[in-house]
């Protein structure tokens, strides 16, 4: 049953929702609930008379009341629970509050607090959001999708919960991530919440803590693997294509062994991308583009050490490789500048553990002959830093303190302004703090981190680290791909997005060391990214044939503003 439809009055030209719910059902629907802001006319026509206190509130007065309640919460977890409850009651009010307090609330609804929330999700669950697909109900996927109450679905964020942030396998408790990503699509990108759908594929868990937890709400079996898992993914994708043929599918927090496979298998078959691979890589590339501008350097003038070659690290390395090749370097010349380190140490071309996407990033064995090593059987991070003389350090390992004082000091010897991207989430998993970088570099280091850190005064100068948050990329990429009706998401679109983000950083921000725009500008950044994606899609023959200004106008028109629309009663019905 569809709960509402957007209509236009042919006589007056007014936009309004034709609403098919009444009374208590309407108050309990988060898409439609206005609470005390229902007008007197709406209360009478929609069966709400007597169910609300007489006073008619404005959205602004509701915001004052809600923010006051938020500030009374004693810690971040309680604030997360409060905001989740608000989202489940009144989406317009939630998104307006979030939009008005982005700097304060993004760390609550997403990193770092969302990681803590996912660790406890079965214990703090109040209402269920989104859809759970399991091996037991996959055969009913059409029926499940037909049961959705929203008029249409244009955007899906899906996880199987196997690699949640830096926390590992959280099973269906990982649903906090798709819910959080959808919230960022709406708040940062302006996607209408009524067309979004978070989904978790609950295929079991190998986490003994969850399997032994009597309150865990997911499937209590080992993870589905092999052909059975791949068959479930195939049925899921086909179900999405049948029911939502124009929707964008974002793969989120899958483990490395499935993330690359799903991306490669489906990127040409359905409008989709993997945020952990492509989004992280594109955001990091934007930060590096700004750093090059600050240093007056080129990508080919730097030497890169990337530690942690999962989907994030591999995605970053692939983006750096693309930037090097764009500057005219050959594959081999690019390879010589990127030193990829994983659990076995430096990746080498004769390593039997190399996986497909890692092969172009591995150093030639002959190139490291003669290096001075602590252990001749393994080339560790310290060896790489000592011998490769990096000017850029990038960490995506979830190993706190990995970039030690000695490693940072060694890196500082080889560049007047070394670049350090310590990107692991949540905060306690970060490879180093910005303060550690600035102390090792006398305030000259350029820093971005996965979670937010406070600015620091250094010898009379305010230094600030950017949060290298994927929300700079994915909301704009998704919005741009949808409004330009792209048939697929390409690497060229992510490169265009990186440029759009970096160009947003002002000279004053660069002087503070910022490599990415400030969070307060995120909706304008997302609009710029969406426009760049639309232009790239058009130029590649994959999107609408609009000129640049028309694409910008369509993007602006598409960005939803959280405000209460007018409601008119419609006849109850179960089909459009």
CATH code, 385: 3.40.50.720
Quick one: 312 and 236 in the same domain?
Answer: no
Give the integer Cα–Cα distance in Å for 484 and 482.
Answer: 6
Nearby residues of 454 by Cβ (< 8 Å), 6 or more positions away:
none
Find the length of the chain: 576
Nearby residues of 261 by Cβ (< 8 Å), 6 or more positions away:
none
Which DSSP symbol is given to 161?
S
Quick one: 261 and 364 in the same domain?
Answer: no
In a domain, 474, yes or no: no
Quick one: 90 and 229 in the same domain?
Answer: yes
Nearby residues of 5 by Cβ (< 8 Å), 6 or more positions away:
17, 18, 151, 570, 576
Nearby residues of 423 by Cβ (< 8 Å), 6 or more positions away:
280, 284, 312, 394, 395, 396, 431, 448, 449, 450, 468
Helix (H, G, I), strand (E, B) or coil at 16: strand
In a domain, 134, yes or no: yes
Domain end (from 402, 432, 452) = 452
Contact 310, 347 (CB under 8 A): no
In a domain, 63, yes or no: yes
Give the integer Cα–Cα distance in Å for 220 and 207.
Answer: 10
> How many domains is the chain partitioned into structurally?
2
In a domain, 286, yes or no: no
CATH code, 134: 3.40.50.10380
Quick one: 161 and 248 in the same domain?
Answer: yes
Give the integer Cα–Cα distance in Å for 177 and 354.
Answer: 29
In a domain, 12, yes or no: no
Quick one: 169 and 260 in the same domain?
Answer: yes
Give the integer Cα–Cα distance in Å for 152 and 288.
Answer: 38
Which DSSP symbol is given to 365?
G
Catalytic annotation present for 40:
no
In a domain, 114, yes or no: yes
Contact 439, 431 (CB under 8 A): no
pLDDT of residue 357: 85
Quick one: 66 and 141 in the same domain?
Answer: yes
Give the integer Cα–Cα distance in Å for 421 and 403.
Answer: 10
Catalytic annotation present for 110:
yes
Contact 379, 368 (CB under 8 A): yes
Listed residue (348, 349, 424) closest to 393, CA to CA = 424
User: Within 13 Å and on the Cβ side, how many CA atoms surround 335?
Assistant: 18
Of 17, 80, 110, 567, the catalytic one is 110
Quick one: 220 and 309 in the same domain?
Answer: no
Output the tens digit of pLDDT for each of the chain's 576 residues: 688 988 998 999 889 999 999 999 999 999 999 999 999 999 999 999 999 999 999 999 999 999 999 999 999 999 999 999 999 999 999 999 999 999 899 999 988 899 999 999 999 988 999 999 999 999 999 999 999 988 899 999 999 999 998 789 999 999 999 999 999 999 999 999 999 999 999 999 999 999 999 999 999 999 999 999 999 999 999 999 999 999 999 999 999 889 999 999 999 999 999 999 999 999 999 999 999 999 999 999 999 999 999 999 999 999 999 999 999 999 999 999 999 999 999 999 998 888 878 899 999 999 999 899 998 889 999 999 999 999 999 999 989 999 999 999 999 999 999 999 999 977 888 999 999 999 999 999 999 998 889 899 998 889 999 999 899 999 999 999 999 999 999 999 999 999 999 999 999 999 999 999 998 999 999 999 999 999 999 999 999 999 999 999 999 999 999 999 999 999 865 544
Quick one: 198 and 265 in the same domain?
Answer: yes
Quick one: 256 and 312 in the same domain?
Answer: no
In a domain, 95, yes or no: yes
Give the integer Cα–Cα distance in Å for 562 and 19.
Answer: 18
pLDDT of residue 472: 96
Contact 3, 19 (CB under 8 A): yes
Of 181, 256, 429, 531, the catalytic one is 181
Quick one: 358 and 313 in the same domain?
Answer: yes
In a domain, 88, yes or no: yes
pLDDT of residue 1: 64
pLDDT of residue 576: 45
Quick one: 352 and 260 in the same domain?
Answer: no
Q: For residue 230, what are the domain limits?
A: 58-270
């Amino acid at each position: 049953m569809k709960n509402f439809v957007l209509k236009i009055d042919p006589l007056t030209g007014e936009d309004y929702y034709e609403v098919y719910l009444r009374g208590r059902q309407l108050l309990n629907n988060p898409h439609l609930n206005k609470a005390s802001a229902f007008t007197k006319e709406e209360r009478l026509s929609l069966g709400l008379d007597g169910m609300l206190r007489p006073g008619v509130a404005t959205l602004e007065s509701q915001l004052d009341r809600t923010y006051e309640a938020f500030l009374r919460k004693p810690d971040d977890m309680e604030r997360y629970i409060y905001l989740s409850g608000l989202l489940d009651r009144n989406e317009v009010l939630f998104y307006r509050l979030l939009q008005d307090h982005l700097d304060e609330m993004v760390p609550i609804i997403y990193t770092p607090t969302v990681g803590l929330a996912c660790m406890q999700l079965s214990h703090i669950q109040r209402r269920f959001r989104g859809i759970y697909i399991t091996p037991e109900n996959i055969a009913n996927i059409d029926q499940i999708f037909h049961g959705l109450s929203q008029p249409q679905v244009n955007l899906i964020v899906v996880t199987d919960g196997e690699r949640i942030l830096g926390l590992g396998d959280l099973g269906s408790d990982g649903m906090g991530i798709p819910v959080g990503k959808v919230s960022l699509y709406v708040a940062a990108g302006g996607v209408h919440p009524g067309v979004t759908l978070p989904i978790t594929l609950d295929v079991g868990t190998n986490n003994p803590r969850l399997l032994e937890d009597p309150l865990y709400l997911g499937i209590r079996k080992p993870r589905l693997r092999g052909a059975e898992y791949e068959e479930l993914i195939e049925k899921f994708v086909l179900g999405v294509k049948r029911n939502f043929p124009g929707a964008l599918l974002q793969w989120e927090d899958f483990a490395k062994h499935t993330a690359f496979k799903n991306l490669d298998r489906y990127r040409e078959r359905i409008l989709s991308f993997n945020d952990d691979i492509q989004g992280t890589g594109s955001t990091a590339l934007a930060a590096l583009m700004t750093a090059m501008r600050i240093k007056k350097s080129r990508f080919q003038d730097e030497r890169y050490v990337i530690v942690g070659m999962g989907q994030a690290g591999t995605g970053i390395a692939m983006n750096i490789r693309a930037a090097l090749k764009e500057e005219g370097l050959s594959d081999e010349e690019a390879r010589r500048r990127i030193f990829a380190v994983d659990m076995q140490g430096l990746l080498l071309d004769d390593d039997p553990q190399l996986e497909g996407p890692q092969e172009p990033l591995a150093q030639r064995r002959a190139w490291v002959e003669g290096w001075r090593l602590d252990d001749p059987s393994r080339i560790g991070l310290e060896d790489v830093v000592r011998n490769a003389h990096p000017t850029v350090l990038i960490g995506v390992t979830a190993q706190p303190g990995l970039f030690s004082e000695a490693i940072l000091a060694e890196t500082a010897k080889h560049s007047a302004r070394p670049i350090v991207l310590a990107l692991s989430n949540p905060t306690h998993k970060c490879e180093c703090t910005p303060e550690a970088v600035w102390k090792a570099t006398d305030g000259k280091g350029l820093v971005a981190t996965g979670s937010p850190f406070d600015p620091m005064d250094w010898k009379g100068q305010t230094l600030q680290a950017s949060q290298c948050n994927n929300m700079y990329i994915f909301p704009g990429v998704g919005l741009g791909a949808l409004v330009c009706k792209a048939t697929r998401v390409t690497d060229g679109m992510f490169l265009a997005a990186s440029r759009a983000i970096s160009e947003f950083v002002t000279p004053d921000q660069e002087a503070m060391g910022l490599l990415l725009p400030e969070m307060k500008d995120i909706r304008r950044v997302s609009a710029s990214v969406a426009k760049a994606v639309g232009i790239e899609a058009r130029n590649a023959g994959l999107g609408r044939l609009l000129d640049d200004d028309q694409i910008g106008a369509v993007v602006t028109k598409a960005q939803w503003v959280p405000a209460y629309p007018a409601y008119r009663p419609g006849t109850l019905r179960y089909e459009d």
